[in-house]
Structure 1
Amino acid sequence: MQPTISIPKHWEYPRFTFGQRTQQGVILGLEYYRADTQLAYQYGHGWRYALMPHKQSEDIFHYQESQLKSLSTQELLAQITAELEQHQLQIVILQQQLAAIK
């Protein structure tokens, strides 16, 4: 069963989702600042996103929805392919270590 998030009808729907890759990084979280709040006055109303620039980063950055840019299909394909190749190399290394134990 997929987790469900309910968004009140009077809120705008977010443009990005959890785990989505953007040019700024991977989305880890999001929150909505209603127009009538202090946070909205300070940062602007609407959705704000918490992103990690890459998997090895300890840094988390916050962006307004208008500051985020989607990856093109080619950029997304390149990122996923590179990550897949890295994992496949790690599997080969682990298999060699396992074989050395036997």
Structure 2
Amino acid sequence: MQPTISIPKHWDYPRFALEQRTQQGIILGLQYYPNGTELAEQFGDGWRYALMPNKNSDELFHFQESQIQPLSPEELLSEITAEIEFYQQQIAILQQQLAAITGGSTNG
């Protein structure tokens, strides 16, 4: 069962989704600053996003929705393809290690 998040009807719907890849990084969290609140007056009202520049980063950056640029379909395809190739190499290495300890070959 998928978890459900309810957004009040008087809030704008967020433009970006959790785990979405963007020019600035991967979205890990989002907050809404309602108009008329102290946070909205200080930082601007609307959605703010917490992004990690890359999966190996220990930094987290916060952006207003207007500061985030989505990846083009070509950039997204390139990123995902590179990640798949990386994990396929890791799987091949692990299969070789497993074959070395079991004395046989493993086929994926």
**1:4 alignment partner in structure 2:** 4
Kindly report which structure 2 residues correspond to 1:15-94, keeping only aligned pairs within 5 A, or say none: 15-94=15-94
**SS of equivalent to 2:40:** helix
Aligned length: 102
Output the aligned Cα RMSD: 0.5
TM-score (norm 2): 0.93
Greater shift, 63-72 or 33-42, is seen at: 33-42
TM-score (norm 1): 0.98
Per-residue deviation, 1:21: 0.6
Runs of 4+ in 1 over 2 A off after TM superposition: none
Distance 1:52 1:95 in 2: 31
Distance 2:96 2:27 in 1: 35
Q: Residue by residue, what CA displacement relative to the aligned partner does 1:29-55 show, whole Å, maximum 9, x if unpaired?
A: 000001111111111000000001111
Distance 1:69 1:5 in 2: 24
Identity %: 69
Distance 1:91 1:32 in 2: 40
